[in-house]
Chains A and B, each alone.
Chain A
Amino acid sequence: MRKLLAVPVLLFAQSTWSAPFDSCPAQAFLTQGSRSQTYAVDLLTGDYRMLAEDMKTIKSINGLGFNPQDKYIYGWSYEFGRPARVHSDFSIEALNVDNISFANFYVGDVHPTNNHYYVYRKGASYGLYRVQLDETAPDYLEMTRVIDGASLSMRVADMAINPADDFGYAVSSTGELFQIDLETGAGSVLSNVGQSGGFGAAYFDPEGNLYIGRNNDGSIFRIAIGAGSYTAELFASGPSSNINDGSRCATAPVSGTTVTNIDFGDAPDSYGSYLDSNGARHGLDRDPGMYLGSAVDSESESSAYPLSDDDNDTADDEDGIQFATSIVDGTMAVIMVKSSGSGYLNGWIDFDSDGAFNGYDQIIYDLPITSENQAVYVEIPDGAVPGKTWSRFRLSSQTGLEPTGGAPDGEVEDYALEIQEQDVTVNHYPSANGWTTVAFEDNWPLEGDYDMNDLVVYLRTAVAQNNRGVKQVGISGEIAAVGAAYHNGFAVRLPGIKYADVNHDEVRFTVNGQSVSWAPMETGRDEAILMVSYNLWDYVGTGEHCLFYRTENGCGSSIQMKFEAQIPMLEPVRAVLPGVMNPFLFATPGAWHGGHFFTAPGRGYEVHLKNQEPTEAFNISLFDQPGDDASDISNGSYFQTQNGLPWALEIGTRWEYPIEYHDISHAYPLFATYAESSGLQSSHWYASDATNRTFIFEN
């Protein structure tokens, strides 16, 4: 009889659970993130698709394995601190297992045949454990230790069990391939696979091939253990994350009939992107030389927004279309088209933002295109709805293409864009697609280690204004690094804009493409302040073996938090907004912020760029705290030491920041000259040829 937890507060509130998976699927499952999401990954191609965007867990689930016996996935729930069963709808059911280890696990797998779930943690107090999953067994759901984690000592991020020989296998961060006898716990190093990194996802196929996914870049390697080869061979590229775990029905073959030589669009699927939606797609075999821009990537399925592979891998093939002018309703616009060869171009803009490319959205009809860089004039109709929308462009030898459906050759490229009102000028900072960086130390009023990576945010802004003032502010950003144990939030004040100026009903703010649960503009304030996050650790995670998020060697991953805000005004506002606005770090309310404070300083604690005034929420008395701060508010001097050193910097590029604990002056030797000359010398101190790469974080 299945045992369920009897304490309702610990259970995921669900009166009936969904069925197990109905088959042993060939696809691999990849569960990622501090708030777990699960993807299906085609190991042949690396193509991936979201299966479960919200597994309704407030923490991660890790150490996952697929049980071919009952066709459930089992894993270790960090929310419940014990094993859990994942159902076919990806709901998580905690199991009534007595956690004799008193610790959580991220290394685990289910044996393909003996109905046991194995977990491992290094250390003498921990080790290799197994949990009986056979409901008929007398030791059902009992956790027993096979061996201690000192006798079996491995620095690994996942393991997988080989159905061909019943051994467990794992690859360490330095590439050591471990073989584990699951009966005795004896482990040995077979070889070095020739690759390093955090391998957080591991899978087997029936032939004894081990597949390992590397966290920082999503590379999938195959190790042909069954054939006696221990060298990792790059097999495919998948999604990256610093919290990764893989599960797979190891008895299902990997090979299939996947067709990969196709180009798909990346717009949200409402526009027809996925194959099931008859998404726009172009075959790449007939004329490999015909594409927009300078490259096209082949895939077996769309990576529809927000999963666009152009954001997640290093090859962005959306490079054939540029908007030379703003897109303004009731006027002409100029679009630059680059092509590798001749063909016919069709294009659409979703003018009414209804999520579809309708007939009236078409702007380009079978336009002959050559390989020259061409300026194409298009009419933007009256009544085009100002705001964010999508566009699609298709090049092919075939004419009469619709916005969806297949084409024998060429390429489709989808672009997000913003339709502007008439008479509006838009200032982009640092540019339409560029990034600036704001980097913080979070130990104010005490000096930190000047690695300037306690918080690193990439930002860009777009301010739309007419001759009466600012009409809308757009802010986009990415949380690049959190090299800090304190819990901090991040916000941006809009100088000169009042809370009352904002059209709050029309404010659009998303994190990772999703709306948020809090009011984007901080309530109870006179000023307009965009609250990006009250606690950045809600969205980013450290990953296995790491203390921080993307600041330590070997702890890379994709960016885990991206945000976007459109803040319209009720009426144009006379204000002069600096490009980077006034970004600041603040202490998460209720969170401890070091022994310097007797109580949590909370929202009243802020860290700003040097000489940037704090907000009205700042606790002014903090300027009187003992420490290294030498602010002189009567002279407009803020957030600097006696020597004029800052706690925050803006760097006008997508900055490569120092690795943990390394001073910015060591990573960037010209920084000192720049600082002490007040910018007269070495103004390009952050240029790539001026760095000491030994001290730069490499993802």
Chain B
Amino acid sequence: MKKILLSSAITASLAVMTGCGSDNGQNDPLQTAAAMPATETTPATTETVTGEVDLTDVSDTRTLSVAKEFSFDTAQTIDIAFDLESARNTDASVSICTDYTQDGDAYDIDYESCTVRGPMYDGVFSHSMEVTNEFSSVVAVVWFLDPTMPPMYREFSIDTPLASAERSVKSVNQRRVIAWK
């Protein structure tokens, strides 16, 4: 496998010819030593810290053809529409989380995985949130501020999102809605 050692003496020319990027180890002639990493600027004949590049690992990513409008979005926006008759007369708090397991009628939830937390008034909670693509479901918990009332749980499935052109409110008609009545 062909490899090449890059030394500080030749990296400058490589960068100009191939546009390999600033991760070719070259020293910056305009920077003061205070701004540079600990690697010393030394005469080319002396030992320098070097890196190895495997030239057979030509970037395959360059050969890809990707739609211009595809922005590599990693999350989807989900609208939340809760309207609970049973919560009309008691203030409550809503938490929606992504990491959980079902435990009988209840859920064992990692509350550090919550994506939104907020107050529910008169049984209504209307909001939106972003959920990253790795999650296909979320659980919502309604905690009543009256300790005598047990919490309510509801799990929602989130379909794998379609290819999205934009990550913005302009695509509101493409957004998922989780509704709880």
Contacts and interface: CB of A to CB of B under 8 A. Distances in A.
Interface of A: 34, 58-60, 62, 78-79, 103-104, 106, 122-126, 149, 243, 322-326, 328, 331-332, 334, 336, 373, 375, 377, 422-434, 436, 441-443, 446-451, 453-454, 483-487, 535, 537-538, 541-549, 551-552, 576, 578-580, 590-596, 600, 609-612, 627-628, 637, 640, 643-646, 649-653, 660-666, 671-672, 675-680, 683-684, 687
Contact of A592 (B30, B49, B60, B111): B30
A426 B72 CA distance: 25
A677 B72 contact: no
B163 to A, nearest CB: 4
Contact of B117 (A62, A426, A430): A426
Contacts of B22: 442-443, 454, 484-486, 593-594
A599 to B, nearest CB: 10
A636 B131 CA distance: 24
11 contacts: A427-B130, A430-B132, A432-B117, A442-B21, A487-B28, A549-B37, A579-B75, A643-B65, A646-B72, A661-B54, A684-B133
Given A429-B115, A660-B51, A663-B59, A542 B39 contact: yes
A407 to B, nearest CB: 26
Interface string B122-152: 0000010111111000000101010100010
A594 B38 CA distance: 20
B111 A322 contact: yes
A513 B131 CA distance: 29
A321 to B, nearest CB: 10
A243 B38 contact: yes
A677 B21 contact: no
Given A653-B134, A666-B60, 5 more contacts: A324-B111, A429-B115, A447-B19, A542-B37, A643-B62
Contacts, number: 302
A427 B116 contact: yes
A375 to B, nearest CB: 8
B154 to A, nearest CB: 15
For the complex of A and B, 7 pairs with smallest distance between CB atoms: A425-B118, A652-B132, A644-B66, A446-B19, A486-B22, A448-B21, A123-B47
B98 A431 contact: yes
Given A332-B147, A449-B59, A650-B74, A425 B134 contact: no
Contact of A322 (B34, B64, B112): B112
A58 B32 CA distance: 12
Most B CB within 10 A of own CB, among A323, A375, A427? A427
Given A123-B47, A449-B20, A432 B114 contact: yes
Contact of B163 (A59, A126, A600, A679): A679
A388 B42 CA distance: 48
Contact of A537 (B37, B47, B53, B60): B37
A541 B38 contact: yes
Nearest to A336: B111
B39 to A, nearest CB: 6
B1 interface: no
Interface string B50-82: 011110011111101111111111110000000
B169 A576 contact: yes
A434 B98 CA distance: 11
Interface of B: 12, 15-16, 19-31, 33-40, 42-43, 45-47, 49, 51-54, 57-62, 64-75, 91, 93, 95, 97-99, 108-119, 127, 129-134, 141, 143, 145, 147, 151, 160-164, 166-169
A662 B58 CA distance: 9
Given A325-B93, A541-B37, A122 B47 contact: yes
Contact of A675 (B34, B72, B127): B72
A676 B117 CA distance: 36
Contacts of A434: 112-113
B71 A609 contact: yes
Given A325-B117, A579-B75, A653-B132, A124 B65 contact: no
B27 A485 contact: yes
Contacts of B127: 425, 427
Contacts of B61: 450, 645, 663-665, 671-672, 675
A470 to B, nearest CB: 13
Nearest to B28: A592
A450 B134 CA distance: 23
Contact of B16 (A123, A551, A595, A611): A595
Nearest to B164: A679
Dominant SS at the A interface?
A: loop
A693 B51 CA distance: 20
A328 B74 contact: no
Contacts of B93: 325-326, 331, 334
A428 B114 contact: yes
Contacts of A428: 114-117
Contacts of B31: 487, 591-592
B150 to A, nearest CB: 9
Given A334-B93, A535-B35, A644-B67, A447 B111 contact: no
B38 A544 contact: yes
A422 B71 CA distance: 36
B46 A448 contact: no
Contact of A650 (B42, B72, B114): B72
Contacts of A649: 72
A611 B71 contact: yes
B113 A484 contact: no
A679 B73 contact: yes
Contacts of A595: 12, 15-16
B34 A447 contact: no
Given A425-B127, A485-B28, A454 B118 contact: no
Nearest to B46: A125
A492 to B, nearest CB: 15
Contact of A324 (B28, B39, B59, B95): B95
Nearest to A322: B111
Most A CB within 10 A of own CB, among B24, B72, B109? B72
B119 A427 contact: no
B89 to A, nearest CB: 16
Most B CB within 10 A of own CB, among A453, A546, A594? A594
A637 B21 contact: no
A449 B21 contact: yes
Contacts of A324: 95, 109, 111, 141, 143
A646 to B, nearest CB: 6
Nearest to B118: A425
Contacts of A643: 62, 64-66
B147 to A, nearest CB: 4
Contacts of B98: 431
B23 A683 contact: no
A427 B115 contact: yes
Contacts of B57: 661-663, 666
Given A324-B111, A547-B25, A425 B60 contact: no
B129 to A, nearest CB: 6
B51 A552 contact: yes
A431 B114 contact: yes
Contacts of A592: 28-31
Given A443-B22, A548-B23, A643-B66, A687 B134 contact: yes
A547 B51 contact: yes
Contacts of A594: 15-16, 22
Nearest to A649: B72
A74 to B, nearest CB: 19
A643 B65 CA distance: 5
A611 to B, nearest CB: 5
Nearest to B6: A547
Nearest to A106: B38
